[in-house]
Structure 1
Amino acid sequence: MPQLTVALDMMGGDYGPSITVPAAAQALLLLPELNLLLFGLEDELAPWLSRFQLDCHPRVQVQFCSQQVGNDHKAAYALRHLTDSSMRNALDALASGRASACVSSGNTGALMAMAIKTLSTLPGVDRPALITRLPQVGGGYALLLDVGANISCSAHHLVQFALMGEQAAQHTLDIAQPRIALLNVGAEASKGNEAVREAGLRLAELSGLHYSGYIEGNELFSGRADVIVCDGFVGNVALKTSEGVAKLLLGQRIKSGFLSKILTFWLKKRLSHLNPDQYNGASLIGLRASVVKSHGSAGSPAFLNAILQAISEIEHDLPASIAHRFDTAPQDSHAR
């Protein structure tokens, strides 16, 4: 693998450097060719860098910033006023070519607004979408998008998400012909809102796309689809609900006693693939470079997985693949 560089917003999420620094240190241990650009507030970041000996690491560059994007900051405010934040500086490093990908667990709205401002979308892409992996019953993963970047979407946007998801599945999941499905409230053609029904008709008309119709919420983990498309409101609710159920199951204790302890251990091992930390990292695809959004409450193992997700996208050059797909895809005659 050639040398690669990832920019990290060290201040994002609920816990900041106490989570991001250990994850960065682990990533450097795992990947000798990895270089990191770290951005954060000096008072909070410097002690953690010293603790993990990253302040003098040969493959680490640190840039201290004067601002931080908070979870309560509006996207428009962050875009206009927080230009020296760790998030903005990490994205600027990506836009300038100093880094090949960026990872942040900060404010989703601010991240999207800043990413569009600094990177812009690929030609033919109206809106970037957040895409994440879901574990499947038979093993492997399916991709779900959008999971929060776009609360309301037209049929045209859903079609674009399907094309982007197809490329992500081909290049990051190694699925030659991904099965594309629309998340809906039923399998019948008459079900769903106008945008979903219209998107279904348009996807069925696209040659070269394996569109398999509607999929319901109880089939998200069934293995019936490789790419599941929806608007950001529906996708975020579905994702958070599934994460909550997974944590409920993994946190269960079955009474007391030796046999119960063995059963609890077996259950957690059997369901370990449902642990959200293992598939943390929602990519903001449709931009000219790779941006990965880590869950705000993620721990260090989960933030590490987000870094590894970014590296995978660098290796597969996902933005270039999406750009090529939009260049060669038949024009959507219904687009407006």
Structure 2
Amino acid sequence: MKIGLDIMGGDFAPEAVVLGAIESYQFLSPDQKLVLIGNQEIARKIIRDNHFDENCFEYVHTTEVIGMAEHPTKAIAQKPSSSIGIGFQLLKEGKIDSFASAGNTGAMLVGAMFSVKAIPSVIRPAIAGIVPKLKGGCGIILDVGANADCKPDVLVQFGILGSLMAESLYDIDQPKVGLINIGEEKEKGNLLCQATFPLMAENKQFNFVGNIEGRDLFTDQADVFVCDGFTGNVVLKLAENFYDITLKKGMRDEFFDRFNYEQYGGSPILGVNAPVIIGHGISNPEAIKSMVLLSKNTVESGLIEKIKKAFL
């Protein structure tokens, strides 16, 4: 297995990314290799300065970077030699088995769609986020930003994608799928939710449990929470802020500690033909390590092949 890692993406790159790669190395087996994509000279120096063996990694050299504020589509087209551009080229050619970056989120989405492309029959790929549960474990919420506006059939597909992720990566048997809404009754909600509910209820590819309200997000009411990307992004960022608030208030609580993004590392793009992981722009070494391990687990679980089979 070869895990591609963009060492130039993120607010604290390349140092934080390379240090994260070093931290993740001990969790990889001998047949699992990290491929560092970016400025090779800088990467090797950081590794040597931290008294680590630079021969533990493979390197693909480039100095070109897609900035966080650059227009995604233009940057992908105009910078094929960027660390993100090269990463997707290697993924498309099968030279790496997964690709992860804490860089420009839009460029990662566009790059995935232009290179490995969406799985046939998947209307719109989604970004999945993780939310902790009060009684332990976690739930999956999608979409969290790839699709601000959705149609009912797209939300139904998110139910399939989220259910497969819950089964494959988190060993949840027959995950409960809920539709985020403003009430439990099937008649509630905006036009999108009203039209989506009967379609999800009729679908036999996942275990639909009905509408889920915001107050149910951290409970066992559901394992997969489906919504459009606008709603999901607002919910996820609000949830992530809980952890920052507890730190500022001097509070320590095991539940709120699990809101720390470092534990999850990143979010997979579900519905494309290869494992692609998007990390937080503010990722530190611990978050990068988690992102590498998520990449490894995604490949090992065979999630992409399971999604392809589900959409045949």
TM-score, structure 2 as length reference: 0.94
Match in the other structure for 1:47: 45
Moved more, 186-195 or 293-302: 186-195
Match in the other structure for 2:120: 123
Matches within 5 A, 1:116-195: 116-195=113-192
Match in the other structure for 1:258: none
Matches within 5 A, 1:109-120: 109-120=106-117
How far residue 46 of structure 1 moved from its aligned partner, in angstroms, is 4.6
Kept in 2, the 8 Å contact 1:281–1:294? The answer is yes
CA–CA distance in structure 2, aligned partners of residues 206 and 158 of structure 1: 12
**Residue 63 of structure 2: which of 66, 71, 76 is its match?**
66
Match in the other structure for 2:96: 99
CA–CA distance in structure 1, aligned partners of residues 146 and 88 of structure 2: 17
State the number of aligned residues: 311
How far residue 198 of structure 1 moved from its aligned partner, in angstroms, is 1.2
How far residue 192 of structure 1 moved from its aligned partner, in angstroms, is 2.0
How far residue 223 of structure 1 moved from its aligned partner, in angstroms, is 1.9
Larger Rg computed on CA atoms: 1
How far residue 14 of structure 1 moved from its aligned partner, in angstroms, is 0.9
CA–CA distance in structure 1, aligned partners of residues 111 and 52 of structure 2: 27
CA–CA distance in structure 2, aligned partners of residues 290 and 74 of structure 1: 23
Matched, 1:291 2:276: yes
How far residue 302 of structure 1 moved from its aligned partner, in angstroms, is 1.2
Kept in 2, the 8 Å contact 1:134–1:279? The answer is no
CA–CA distance in structure 2, aligned partners of residues 21 and 110 of structure 1: 21
SS at match of 2:26: helix
Match in the other structure for 1:322: 307
Moved more, 199-208 or 37-46: 37-46
Kept in 2, the 8 Å contact 1:7–1:91? The answer is no
Superposition CA RMSD, Å: 1.7
Kept in 2, the 8 Å contact 1:46–1:55? The answer is no
**Residue 282 of structure 1: which of 230, 248, 267 is its match?**
267
CA–CA distance in structure 1, aligned partners of residues 197 and 165 of structure 2: 20
CA–CA distance in structure 2, aligned partners of residues 117 and 286 of structure 1: 13
SS at match of 1:27: helix
How far residue 252 of structure 1 moved from its aligned partner, in angstroms, is 2.1
How far residue 105 of structure 1 moved from its aligned partner, in angstroms, is 0.6
Query: Residues 44 and 218 from structure 1, CA distance in 2 versus in 1: closer, same or farther, beyond 3 angstroms?
Result: farther
SS at match of 1:12: coil
**Residue 205 of structure 1: which of 198, 202, 207 is its match?**
202
How far residue 44 of structure 1 moved from its aligned partner, in angstroms, is 4.8
How far residue 138 of structure 1 moved from its aligned partner, in angstroms, is 0.8
How far residue 53 of structure 1 moved from its aligned partner, in angstroms, is 5.5
Kept in 2, the 8 Å contact 1:250–1:268? The answer is no
Kept in 1, the 8 Å contact 2:23–2:285? The answer is no
CA–CA distance in structure 1, aligned partners of residues 303 and 224 of structure 2: 15
TM-score, structure 1 as length reference: 0.88
How far residue 45 of structure 1 moved from its aligned partner, in angstroms, is 3.8
- Listed as ranges, the gaps of 5+ residues in structure 2 are none
Deviations 1:34-77 (A, max 9, x none): 201111135654532432456731x4111221311111111121
CA–CA distance in structure 2, aligned partners of residues 118 and 275 of structure 1: 32
Match in the other structure for 1:260: none
Matched, 1:309 2:294: yes
